[in-house]
Amino acid sequence: MNEQNFMADEVGEVLTCTADTPGERLDAFAARATGMSRSAVQRLMDGITVNGKPAAKNCKLKPGDAVEILLPENEDCDAQPENIPLDIRYEDEHIIIVNKPCGMVVHPAPGHSSGTLVNALLYHCGDSLSGIGGVNRPGIVHRIDRDTSGLICAAKNDTAHLSLAAQLQDHSMHREYRMITVGGLKEDSGTVDAPIGRHPTDRKKMAVIKGSDKKSRHAVTHWTVLERFPGYTYAQAVLETGRTHQIRVHMSYIGHPLMGDTVYGGGHTAFEKHNAPLIDGQMLHATALILKHPVTGESMRFESLLPDSFEAVLDKLRRLN
């Protein structure tokens, strides 16, 4: 996807971009270009044109096709500001980097209307959050799961949001995680390249689904062993793509679910049960985030130390050796 240009419009902002992947659906391309969900993009189809003409959401694009997307005006956010302390690692007028604790939901959703990162950001930033993510997701460009701790970047304006979304899609935003898996990984490093989609019977879960590009999306996770323990492995994971629950699904798929991840097969060993007070959900921490500043283009790297509970689990595992 080549550089995006922005033009003021009386009913919203127009994003102009050029298709670069043969045969990609228009709605998928528009979601990739804006950072919005495909379902959100499909509600905007009346404002999307290809080479100056209206097109269906399943229109297959050719490299070089000019796509214009009329973005909606920002809506008032339903979420309420809440004075929740934030561990801020960096902030300027365009972006904010937060070290999210385990247990905090990123944005309001059914069952989680308050206490989220968005509620905290609304209190801290006021009206200075991008609106592209949707009425309940101001500023949110990428997410990490509730029980995953670590670094997350939010955008303070739509230009920053679009730049960060483009970095996510072209893989220039680099995200590193630390994890503890159940079982000993046989190799010292490896890659899981397996498409992920909604689980066919449990809609709250994701799964590796092969054989249909309509039901799954390309997903790649690279992993490297850091330490080995009897029955467990401490490793680094690097995302090439960013699908929902990607690391959790991929590690479970190769037979090594994350410690504490009862949704995808972890949480059942004697060690996990004995140390349950320290293991609050899956043992997964977003430890490093590398991106280009959306305005200056400066390369920026942010790092986060492991939470105390994560370090305590590692100390107990080291005593097993």
Q: Where are the domains of the chain?
A: 5-70, 88-169, 174-318
Q: For residue 150, which phi and psi values (nearest 5 degrees)?
A: 125, -165
Q: Read off the pLDDT of each residue in 15-21 and give the average, rounded to a whole number.
A: 81
Structure token pair of residue 320: 């097993």
Which H/E stretch holds residue 41? Answer: helix 38-42
Q: Read off the pLDDT of each residue in 209-235 and give the average, rounded to a whole number.
A: 89
CA gap 230, 318 in Å, rounded: 9
What is the architecture of the domain spanning 88-169? 2-Layer Sandwich (3.30)
What was the pLDDT predicted at 214? 58
Answer for the pair 157, 117: CB distance below 8 angstroms, yes or no. no
Sign, Cα dihedral of 116, 121, 126, 127: negative
CATH number (3.30.2350.10, 1.10.167.10, 3.40.1000.10, 3.30.70.1290) of 174-318 reads 3.30.2350.10
In SS3 terms, 233-248 reads as EEEEEEECCCCCCHHH
Least confident window among 20-29, 190-199, 228-237: 20-29
**Cα–Cα distance list, 306 to 47, 177, 228, 273, 312 (Å):** 45, 10, 17, 21, 10
CA gap 138, 107 in Å, rounded: 9
What was the pLDDT predicted at 3? 40
**Cα–Cα distance list, 103 to 39, 147, 266 (Å):** 27, 5, 17
What was the pLDDT predicted at 78? 66
The overall average pLDDT reported for the chain is 86
CA gap 177, 286 in Å, rounded: 4
> Which letter does DSSP use for residue 113 in this model?
S
CATH topology assigned to domain 5-70? 3.10.290
What was the pLDDT predicted at 134? 53
Is the pLDDT at 52 greater than 90? The verdict is: no
What was the pLDDT predicted at 10? 32
Is the pLDDT at 54 greater than 90? The verdict is: no
Is the pLDDT at 131 greater than 90? The verdict is: no
Structure token pair of residue 247: 């690391």
Q: Which residue has the higher pLDDT, 11 or 58?
A: 58
Q: Read off the pLDDT of each residue in 30-58 and give the average, rounded to a whole number.
A: 81
What was the pLDDT predicted at 319? 93
Task: List the Cα angle 197/279/102 in 5-degree steps.
Answer: 65
To the query of whether residue 145 is one of the catalytic residues in this protein, the response is yes
What was the pLDDT predicted at 72? 62
CA gap 177, 182 in Å, rounded: 16
Q: pLDDT by residue (tens digit) across 165-176? A: 888 878 889 999
Query: Which among 145, 147, 158, 261 is annotated as catalytic?
Result: 145
CB atoms within 10 A of CB 236: 16
**In CATH terms, are 88-169 and 174-318 the same topology?**
yes
